[in-house]
Amino acid sequence: MDCTEHITERKVLFDGGSRWSGNWQTAANRSVGGTSHSYLETYPHLLQTEYHGWVDRLSVDNSAFAAVHTMGTDKQWDLTGYDAIELKLGPTDGKLYHIVIHDGRPFSWVGSFRGLLAASDRVIRFHRLIPMRMPLRNQPGHEDPPPLNLGNIRGFGIYILNSDASQDGAFTLRILSISAVKLPCSCPTVPDPISMAIENRGGRILEMRARARLVIQSMRAAIRTILRRKPEK
Query: Per-residue pLDDT for 88 more than 90?
Result: yes
Query: Per-residue pLDDT for 194 more than 60?
Result: no
For residues 57 and 72, membership in a common domain is answered with: yes
Q: Give the pLDDT confidence score for residue 61 in this predicted structure.
A: 55
Instruction: Tell whether 3 is covered by a domain.
Output: no
Query: Per-residue pLDDT for 30 more than 70?
Result: no
For residues 146 and 195, membership in a common domain is answered with: no
pLDDT, average across residues 8-26 = 93
For residues 133 and 94, membership in a common domain is answered with: yes
Side-chain half-sphere CA neighbours of 152 within 13 A: 7
Q: Give the pLDDT confidence score for residue 219 in this predicted structure.
A: 47
Burial class (CB in 10 A: 0-12, 13-18, 19+), 149: middle
Instruction: Tell whether 200 is covered by a domain.
Output: yes
For residues 165 and 195, membership in a common domain is answered with: no
CA gap 21, 133 in Å, rounded = 25
Instruction: Tell whether 76 is covered by a domain.
Output: yes
Q: Give the pLDDT confidence score for residue 29 in this predicted structure.
A: 61
Q: Give the pLDDT confidence score for residue 211 in this predicted structure.
A: 45
Q: Give the pLDDT confidence score for residue 210 in this predicted structure.
A: 47
CA gap 95, 161 in Å, rounded = 10
For residues 67 and 173, membership in a common domain is answered with: yes
CA gap 130, 230 in Å, rounded = 62
For residues 199 and 182, membership in a common domain is answered with: no
Its domain, for residue 58, covers 9-188
pLDDT, average across residues 42-59 = 88
pLDDT, average across residues 41-50 = 95
For residues 156 and 229, membership in a common domain is answered with: no
Residue 205: band (very low, low, confident or very high) from pLDDT cuts 50, 70, 90? very low
Instruction: Tell whether 1 is covered by a domain.
Output: no
Task: Output DSSP code: residue 129.
Answer: P
For residues 121 and 139, membership in a common domain is answered with: yes
For residues 179 and 211, membership in a common domain is answered with: no
CA gap 42, 104 in Å, rounded = 27
Q: The domain that contains 147 carries what CATH number?
A: 2.60.120.430
For residues 148 and 57, membership in a common domain is answered with: yes
Query: Per-residue pLDDT for 196 more than 60?
Result: no
Q: Which residue has better confidence, 112 or 36? A: 112
Instruction: Tell whether 4 is covered by a domain.
Output: no
For residues 138 and 215, membership in a common domain is answered with: no
pLDDT, average across residues 78-98 = 95
Instruction: Tell whether 168 is covered by a domain.
Output: yes
Q: Give the pLDDT confidence score for residue 208 in this predicted structure.
A: 44
pTM passes above 0.75: yes
Instruction: Tell whether 2 is covered by a domain.
Output: no
Q: Give the pLDDT confidence score for residue 206 in this predicted structure.
A: 47
Q: Give the pLDDT confidence score for residue 96 in this predicted structure.
A: 92
Instruction: Tell whether 47 is covered by a domain.
Output: yes
Side chain identity at residue 209, one-letter code: R
**Sheet with 108-114: strands ordered across:** 24-28, 65-70, 155-161, 96-102, 108-114, 130-132
For residue 9, list its beta bridge partners: 182
Query: Per-residue pLDDT for 202 more than 80?
Result: no
Residue 218: band (very low, low, confident or very high) from pLDDT cuts 50, 70, 90? very low
Of 80, 89, 87, nearest to 182 by C-alpha is: 80
Total count of domains within the chain:
2
For residues 216 and 118, membership in a common domain is answered with: no
Maximum separation of any 2 CA atoms in the chain, in Å: 88
Sequence-ordered strand ranges (E) for the chain: 9-15, 24-28, 37-43, 48-55, 65-70, 84-89, 96-102, 108-114, 120-125, 130-132, 155-161, 169-182
Q: Which of 22-36, 39-53, 214-228 has the highest mean pLDDT?
A: 39-53
The percentage of residues in the chain with a pLDDT greater than 70, rounded to a whole number, is: 72
Query: Could you read off the pLDDT of 115-141 as tens digits, one per residue?
Result: 888 899 999 999 999 998 754 445 554
Task: Output DSSP code: residue 46.
Answer: G
